[in-house]
């Protein structure tokens, strides 16, 4: 498989998991999107916010690109619950605003991905992270795919609890 084919495959999978995340909100009311479901105090909008900040922004703009605004905006307190990344979205924040923020971050990341090669090295890694530092953009893209897919499972489960066994998005 050529490098271009691998790149196309990774970016297509990334687009698919992102679309699935946003698709989980189709037909939900504002109250449902904000409702706390499952263990803890997470809601669907909080999960999407997490994907915006701790997935797209952290992995690509901060870790890979060392974008100083992204690094500075990513204020993590590893001693705080959930690592300091907020999971909840205030009730007055509309679903459309959270989705727009996610899609805006996705657009920034996609712009960066179109200008870079998969074998380019990462440029930043937080000292407080104890896991293995990714080496290249390809590893970063895989991390975003895996994290988004994992949280999509949580979104689908939350949606099921909120609306029952209707149509699920894939």
Q: In the chain, pLDDT over 70 holds for what percent of residues?
A: 85
Alpha helices in the chain (DSSP H): 3-23, 30-34, 44-50, 68-73, 95-114, 137-163
Residue-level pLDDT at 62: 93
Residue-level pLDDT at 35: 92
Contact, 60 vs 140, CB < 8 A?
A: yes
Ranges of the chain with pLDDT below 70: 40-41, 73-87, 165-170
Which tokens in the block code for residue 110?
A: 């996609």
Residue-level pLDDT at 70: 87
Mean pLDDT of all residues in the chain? 87
Domains of the chain: 3-163 (1.20.120.450)
Residues 77-93 as b or e (16 or more Cβ within 10 Å = b): eeeeebeebebbbeeeb
| Largest separation between any pair of C-alpha atoms in the chain | 48
In DSSP terms, 35 is beta-bridged to none
Residue-level pLDDT at 170: 47
- 49-86, pLDDT tens digit by residue? 999 988 999 999 999 999 988 887 665 555 555 555 56
Residue-level pLDDT at 107: 97
What is the distance between the alpha carbons of residues 127 and 124, in angstroms, rounded to a whole number?
9
109, burial (CB in 10 Å: exposed 0-12, middle 13-18, buried 19+)? buried
Residue-level pLDDT at 82: 52
């Amino acid at each position: 498989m050529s490098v271009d084919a691998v790149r196309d495959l990774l970016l297509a999978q990334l687009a698919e998991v992102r679309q699935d995340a946003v698709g989980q909100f189709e037909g939900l009311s504002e109250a449902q999107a904000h409702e706390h479901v499952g263990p803890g105090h997470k809601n669907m909008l909080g999960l999407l916010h997490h994907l915006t900040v701790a997935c797209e922004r952290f992995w690509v703009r901060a870790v890979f690109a060392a974008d100083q605004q992204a690094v500075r905006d990513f204020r993590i307190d590893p001693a705080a619950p959930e690592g300091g990344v907020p999971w909840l979205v205030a009730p007055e924040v509309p679903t459309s605003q959270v989705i727009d923020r996610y899609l805006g971050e996705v657009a920034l990341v996609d712009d960066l991905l179109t200008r870079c090669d998969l074998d380019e090295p990462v440029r930043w890694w937080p000292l407080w992270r104890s896991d293995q530092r990714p080496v290249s953009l390809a590893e970063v893209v895989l991390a975003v795919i895996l994290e988004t897919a994992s949280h999509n499972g949580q979104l689908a489960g939350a949606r099921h609890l909120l609306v029952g066994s209707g149509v699920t998005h894939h």
